[in-house]
Amino acid sequence: MICVSRFLRINQGGLFGPLHRCLSSQTEGELRIVAILKEKFPSASSLKVVDISGGCGAMYEIHIESNEFKGKRTVQQHQLVNQALKEEIQGMHGLRIFTEVPRQ
């Protein structure tokens, strides 16, 4: 089970509070992206893909930790992820990428 935290703005009061949505399984888009990234980054020690568009597949958030990023600047790490998802990105409105090198 994955839980997605979202933030909800309460009308004009400007109050922010957490809204949690728990899903029993991942969407098709999430599973497809996970499969592609697992293939492209086989040494990934952590990988999380979340559809942050409410399930329609328009926007995703990716957290990936991999040794393939070692010695590369953040922009280069993100370019590797973008290249791996080149085909899928064409149908998206947005993509948030968070990359890390595993601590040793």
- The Cα diameter of the chain in Å comes to 47
* Predicted model pTM: 0.74
Close Cβ partners of 35 (under 8 Å, ≥ 6 residues apart): none
Least confident of 6-10, 49-53, 80-84, 100-104: 6-10
Give the tokens for residue 37. 């990234």
In a domain, 31, yes or no: yes
| Spatial separation of the C-alpha atoms in residues 51 and 28, rounded to whole Å | 10
Q: How many residues does the chain have?
A: 104
Q: Which domain holds residue 86?
A: 26-100
In a domain, 78, yes or no: yes
pLDDT band per the 50, 70, 90 thresholds, residue 25? confident
In a domain, 15, yes or no: no
In a domain, 53, yes or no: yes
| CATH number, position 41 | 3.30.300.90
| Spatial separation of the C-alpha atoms in residues 46 and 40, rounded to whole Å | 13
Report the number of distinct structural domains present in the chain.
1
| Spatial separation of the C-alpha atoms in residues 91 and 73, rounded to whole Å | 27
